[in-house]
Structure 1
């Protein structure tokens, strides 16, 4: 017990512990480009303690949020050179909430990066509100990587859903057995406070522990999927967009080119856009021509601009402009091209 009405359960797991088909040592792998800048590597043995990447998950009295909802359990996990340190605080009465949040604040202050799953929407706002109600100072908040968002971007087209259990099964090979559903956790905790045996509360602790350990393993697994997205069913366009946002346009182009044969219209348009940005305009135009022939209005618009401004071939530019919708911009483009042709400028193939 760390304070009155708060119990701390602390465990250190060896790095070679299996978590699905992964090892917990994977949690030491870099998260680039998901997290930018990539967090500092954990210290080596003998260099002193230091929490770098901190996974966090809460078990709460309800899922609706608001001031009537509180966290009765907070779990955090951090990969260190000697193992993964798992800490779980459990309230035995609401009077211990301030002490629990103070203990959490100390751990957050030592972290370089915090990872969660839907934590930006649920866990962190809830903890902020509870800290405010306890009249405590604001919780330290290191840079926060909510893994739900890149998971959705990468896999929403391929998976039936992007729940944590689905991510665990697909990316980590982890299938939970005899796991107490999270929806049952509030009842199990209330029953424990009312004097029931601790068996079901132990199930809540195990459920929470699996959550935070999965978060440590999922970050590197998602980062690996960005290098070869098609090998794990990820959306190559989404992977390329993540690389591009980090300024790694070469990686973005490589990912799209590797997936060229599997790209749909949306992906092919993104490949063409990226090729154009890399100065490979003729290759981009070849993709636009194929897509325009298949009925893509966006590809036709790109070709109208290409032939007007790059090739200076106003006849072909007008041919593609005629395929566009009847919006004001398209009408203006057609009138401008017709004026150029009527002026006898014809084609200047520079």
Structure 2
């Protein structure tokens, strides 16, 4: 009896559909490289350190960014120079300003962080030139820094948004690391973030540049926009894959930042030059400008602005804060009659400080101790109520009781003389 030959293990595996032996797997296709010049129509600039990629755009001076032209429609006011503590800001022509912003490899700063893109814009002739300097590779940084230095050479004033704290120090560090002179070392620096906080802190919950764009400049970003926090990751992906396509959104993000800086400077200069004009259409903005004038010791203008702002619609808390500042300012200016008027308004709304100021006025200026005593007694009743803040009560009780005893003595002495 013939038996069939015994199957080998390989035969058994083959019968089960298992492939035996080494199989050559197809290699994955390498990722397609998309060079940056195919994404944005820039060119290469030659420097002493080699070439660097630059994308340059030009805008007419009447270009509107949101509702605001790029070119200031009025000379920048002296108030802006006084606030920034640099007279060059209102003295030099707009061609001396350079608006700049960086996109970086990280947000922490320090020597390990570098700017892979620097956007800079300046006015020249009848155009606004916006140049974006881009690192195809970190090794090109010296070339990029030199090209940037050449672009900003005609200028003397930096304009940024948080640039004093982040962008300018970061670039200074990079120039020093490469032992290159810092081109903006002696420039004035106008950081519009700090000005935006002064002007819109009470009205806007956020003063990020995009919030200012939305609420002040009427700028809306398109679908090309990429969030700022994603930008470092997009760049590292580009370095790894050499696919520049996602960089298009980063160029757009940086471009809008620069245009917004120019428009914001124009708008801020306009409303500070003419705070009673059409550009200031919110009472809280008027009060904010009044505070700025007051802090810069321009008291007459500040007083008029406070009064103008109080004529509009204000939340009650903001209204009373403005009344308090105005009344104290009027006293400082020597306009006691106006101060008394506003103290009276605040006293009617139950503000302790106003009662105290009126008590001082009637005690020391008009010598009407009876009226002064009435204001003190009314204030004491308010302080003793259950809903009065406990942490303030002890302070006011001490002051008011001391004032009351003194008024009693003065009133008694006055009666004896009469």
Q: Is the 8 A contact 2:81 2:90 kept in 1?
A: yes
Match of 1:231 in 2: 281
CA–CA separation in structure 1 for the residues paired with 2:269 and 2:284: 11
Q: Is the 8 A contact 2:102 2:167 kept in 1?
A: yes
Match of 1:62 in 2: 106
Inter-CA distance 308–134: structure 2 relative to 1 (3 Å threshold): farther
One of 84, 90, 107 as aligned partner of 2:128: 84
Tell me the alpha carbon deviations over residues 143-187 of structure 1, each in whole angstroms, 9 at most, x when there is no partner: 222212222222233224222112112222210112122222222
Alignment of 1:269 with 2:324, yes or no, is yes
Inter-CA distance 135–313: structure 2 relative to 1 (3 Å threshold): farther
One of 191, 196, 199 as aligned partner of 1:146: 191
Which range moved further: 27-36 or 306-315? 27-36
**Structure of greater Rg:** 2
One of 80, 90, 93 as aligned partner of 1:42: 93
One of 205, 212, 217 as aligned partner of 1:172: 217
Match of 1:201 in 2: 247
CA–CA separation in structure 1 for the residues paired with 2:96 and 2:282: 28
Match of 2:62 in 1: 16
Please, what is the CA RMSD of the aligned residues?
Answer: 2.9
TM-score (norm 2): 0.72
Q: Is the 8 A contact 1:6 1:93 kept in 2?
A: no
CA–CA separation in structure 1 for the residues paired with 2:268 and 2:299: 19
Tell me the alpha carbon deviations over residues 46-65 of structure 1, each in whole angstroms, 9 at most, x when there is no partner: xxxxx412211110111222
Aligned pairs (5 A) from 1:266-305: 266-305=321-360
3-state SS, counterpart of residue 312 of structure 1: coil
Alignment of 1:158 with 2:203, yes or no, is yes
Q: Please state how far the C-alpha of 1:288 moved relative to its aligned partner.
A: 0.7
CA–CA separation in structure 2 for the residues paired with 1:27 and 1:6: 35
CA–CA separation in structure 2 for the residues paired with 1:311 and 1:115: 52
Aligned pairs (5 A) from 1:338-349: 338-344=408-414
Q: Is the 8 A contact 2:76 2:270 kept in 1?
A: no
CA–CA separation in structure 2 for the residues paired with 1:347 and 1:118: 66
Q: Is the 8 A contact 1:31 1:39 kept in 2?
A: yes
Match of 2:118 in 1: 74
Tell me the alpha carbon deviations over residues 1-33 of structure 1, each in whole angstroms, 9 at most, x when there is no partner: 344363222332211223222222337752553
CA–CA separation in structure 2 for the residues paired with 1:197 and 1:312: 82
TM-score (norm 1): 0.85
One of 218, 243, 254 as aligned partner of 2:264: 218
Match of 1:48 in 2: none
Match of 2:371 in 1: 316
Structure 2 portions without partners, runs of 5+? 1-44, 381-392
